[in-house]
A and B are shown apart, each in its own frame.
Chain A
Amino acid sequence: MVGGYAGKILRVNLTEQTISTEDINLKWAEDFIGGRGYGERLLFDEIDPRIDPLSEENKLIIATGPLGSTTAPSSGRVMVITKGALNGTMACSNSGGHFAGELKRAGYDMIVIEGKAEKPVYLWIYKGQVQIRDASKLWGKNTKETDKLLKRFTHPEASTLQIGPAAEKLSLISNITFDGRRMAGRTGIGAVMGSKNLKGVAVKGHLSIRVADKERFAKAVYQARDILSKDAFSGKGGAKYGTAVLVNVINKAGGLPTRNAHDAYFDNAASISGERLTKDHLIKAEACDSCSIACGRVTQITSGKYANNKGVGPEYETIWAFGAACGVDDLDAIVMANYLCNEYGLDTISAGATVACAMDLFEAGYIPKSDIGFDLRFGDADAMVEAVKLMCEQNTDFGRLLAKGSYRLAEHYGHLEFSMSVKKQEFPAYDPRAIKGIGLEYATSNRGACHVRGYTIGAEVLGGLDKSSYEGKAKLTKKLQDLTAALDSSGICLFTTFGLKAKEIAELFAAATGFDCDKDEFVKKGERIWNLERIFNIKAGFSADDDRLPERMEKEPIKSGPSKGEVANVSEMLSEYYSLRGWDKNGIPTDKKLKELGLEGLL
């Protein structure tokens, strides 16, 4: 018996107002695992890679993995697959929470959303019934209110996903929020949902999820949980400090991009650190489905002009984006900017990095003050929050421009070199000049600059590798990208890799599904997924020319701190990376590689 999967795919066409179900394709399940991999295989099959991401032809796939809705550690991941609005790549953003489990127990491994509704709608999925309901009372509401109302309109214990006003107005950096508090942030997936006039989905499960081998699965689960409980982050540190514990760690390594990456060391990092957040803002740690790490932050602002606001986060990346990247050292302002983005539904990495880009352009004299309405300088916490408000509300020309992300902003003012992005997506909180491998990861990530496609930081900063050396980084990046592609598809969280290796994850997958799979086979599935994404992007018009960092990374050495003087030269690693991938010098997978992966005929 094949276990782990719910077994069905729900298909909703919003143009035709039709609903249908189909069995999952077990060959695809075995080859692409589920979630990210399976969803992408399906999207690849069903859309033309050249379409406009905001057109009716694009599809939005909400997918779970075979380890979801079980005791497998941190198995609450849900993935959203679509052609991303920010950059037109094969986009997959994922979120934690409890939605994945409810969807699976409602009987569906994934939902495929097609077409476009005439008027705003939401979906309600319960006990085999799927309703497309009028969402006129929800349109315009923020994510928190929408979650509350969806639960009121459907079931108090339903799980929900929703977009905020930012995505309704098609912001290219808008996200999708789950249960009002967790976000699939990147690549502008919210705008795709907004373009379909879909405000939200509510789902309540009633069925059971079975695994192929109960005893083997229980053993694998407790082995994995035991390993995780012994790691410093996944054992205790994650719950105590959250991801923000990295602020001091990465700054001390001289790798915290500062003032739109004019530097990589922030003098005031201690005042925006995870330790500070825990002391001044944290109310409690909150966890996703079956997660022992509990890195989620429930926080409040207790004093100052933003007092009495309460919410979730910020994460490390968010603190960096509104903090160091903008030269801001006021943690209350950072937490407030984070709350605003959460409520309006904006990706905090892209939002903060875009404000940083705007500050940079303003200080260089390229944005006139009259366009903004106020001085927007590095280090000005009030101006940072005001800029975030403009971006959230999109009721001015400049606000609408900010909501398109840094690439369009810099393009508008004629200085693309001010956008710290790859494939139009802003890069996150690790400086590629200081930490070489992450530069290759940013350059080659299939959804644009990203740290969670191959988190080299584990080995380069927290582990034993020399972060300043290019040696071995191509191999490391490829290995992590392949493993992560498989892991994302299984439904467990990237943070489990603080303790677990491919062996333990493959064992969880094999025990749950019954598919024969060891660690090498598991990583091979990841490689297959990675190549499928690459093929999609090639067909969408991307090429090796897009595998590069902004020129500032190569031309402007880091000014201060432990990595002073360093630059990033991705080309040092890129040809080796292509070769290790079995791609030609133009970054195109060879016939031999495609055949080896069973992807022949797809390019």
Chain B
Amino acid sequence: MKVLMVDIDKCTGCRACEYACSFAHDGEFNPLNSRIHISEFLDDFVFVPTYCTQCDEAYCMDVCPTKALTRSQSGVVELDYDKCIGCKQCVIACPWGNIKLSSDAKRVIKCDLCGGEPECVRVCHAGALEFVDVEDAVLGKQIRAAANIKRSAVAGV
């Protein structure tokens, strides 16, 4: 199983992911309709991508009265528009703000990982977003942390 991972240190704040996401899903460019969102914290020049992490215990799915939200075999919480009645309970239930209303307020929108080939990852030249096997998800972080420890060890600290 693969998961979407983010490395905040690498994000340059270009927002190509927002454009690519909206274009992949709706055929037009509108960051308000992007399932991934870049928040800027300019005092520290930190850019934080936030997106649906397909929670194991998905409140959006639990609260849905019509079972429009279901988990697929690959672990993605998917939205069936034929069953969705637009009650927006899922929007309220999501603690992260990662399931939302489209900018015209007509649809609930949610990350579907583009069927296994996320556009946000494809367009991210900085390498801040990766779609990786779950067992490798934190490997990069582990190795970087280990490298720090190694540096200290070599330096005899």
Contacts and interface: CB of A to CB of B under 8 A. Distances in A.
Interface of A: 69-71, 76, 98, 101, 105, 147-148, 157, 179-181, 205-211, 214, 218, 222, 225, 229, 239, 283-292, 294, 296, 298
A-B CB proximity, top 8 nearest: A292-B125, A287-B14, A287-B12, A208-B30, A208-B28, A294-B12, A298-B45, A290-B16
Contact of B14 (A148, A208, A289): A289
Given A179-B42, A287-B14, 14 more contacts: A71-B123, A101-B31, A157-B40, A205-B30, A207-B30, A208-B28, A208-B29, A211-B29, A222-B122, A285-B126, A289-B15, A290-B19, A291-B12, A291-B14
B26 A208 contact: yes
Given A208-B30, A209-B28, A70 B12 contact: no
Nearest to A76: B14
Interface residues of B, number: 26
Interface in B14-29: 14-16, 19-20, 22-23, 26-29
Given A70-B19, A71-B20, A98-B15, A294 B123 contact: no
Given A206-B32, A208-B29, A225-B123, A218 B23 contact: yes
A147 B123 CA distance: 29
A157 B122 CA distance: 25
Contacts of A98: 15
24 contacts: A69-B29, A70-B23, A71-B23, A71-B29, A71-B123, A76-B14, A101-B15, A101-B31, A180-B42, A205-B30, A206-B103, A222-B122, A225-B123, A225-B125, A239-B126, A284-B45, A285-B12, A286-B12, A287-B13, A290-B16, A291-B14, A291-B16, A292-B126, A294-B126
B106 to A, nearest CB: 13
Nearest to A217: B23
Contact of B27 (A214, A291, A296): A214
Interface in B105-131: 122-123, 125-126
Contact of A105 (B26, B30, B40, B125): B30
A98 B45 CA distance: 14
B33 interface: yes
Nearest to B22: A208
Interface in B75-96: none
Contacts of B13: 286-287
B45 A286 contact: yes
Nearest to A69: B29
A71 B16 CA distance: 6
Contacts of B32: 205-206
A205 B22 CA distance: 14
Given A71-B23, A286-B45, A229 B125 contact: yes
Contacts of A291: 12, 14, 16
A210 B22 CA distance: 11
A70 B26 CA distance: 13
A294 B14 contact: yes
A239 B12 contact: yes
Contact of B30 (A148, A179, A181, A209): A209
B19 A210 contact: no
A509 to B, nearest CB: 16
A211 B31 CA distance: 15
Nearest to B125: A292
Contacts of A69: 19, 29
Contacts of B12: 239, 284-287, 291, 294, 296
B31 to A, nearest CB: 8
B90 to A, nearest CB: 22
B139 to A, nearest CB: 22
Given A71-B16, A294-B12, A210 B28 contact: yes
A98 B31 CA distance: 12
A289 B15 CA distance: 6
A244 B131 CA distance: 33
A157 B47 CA distance: 13
Contacts of B20: 71
Nearest to B24: A218
A579 to B, nearest CB: 43
Nearest to A151: B42
Contacts of A284: 9, 12, 45
Nearest to A229: B125
Contacts of B29: 69-71, 208-211
Contacts of B40: 157
Interface in B21-58: 22-23, 26-33, 40, 42, 45
B41 to A, nearest CB: 11
A200 to B, nearest CB: 16
A392 to B, nearest CB: 22
A554 B92 CA distance: 71
A289 B123 CA distance: 12
A290 B126 contact: no
A294 B9 CA distance: 13
Contacts of A76: 14
A597 B12 CA distance: 41
Contacts of A214: 23, 27
Contacts of B27: 210, 214
A198 B84 CA distance: 48
A294 B16 CA distance: 12
Contacts of A225: 123, 125
Contact of A290 (B14, B26, B42, B122): B14
A292 B42 contact: no
Contacts of A70: 19, 23, 29
A590 B147 CA distance: 67
Contacts of A210: 27-29
A98 B15 CA distance: 9
Contacts of B30: 105, 205, 207-209
A287 B27 CA distance: 24
Contacts of B122: 222
For A148, A214, A298, the residue with the greatest tally of chain B CB atoms inside 10 Å of its CB is A298
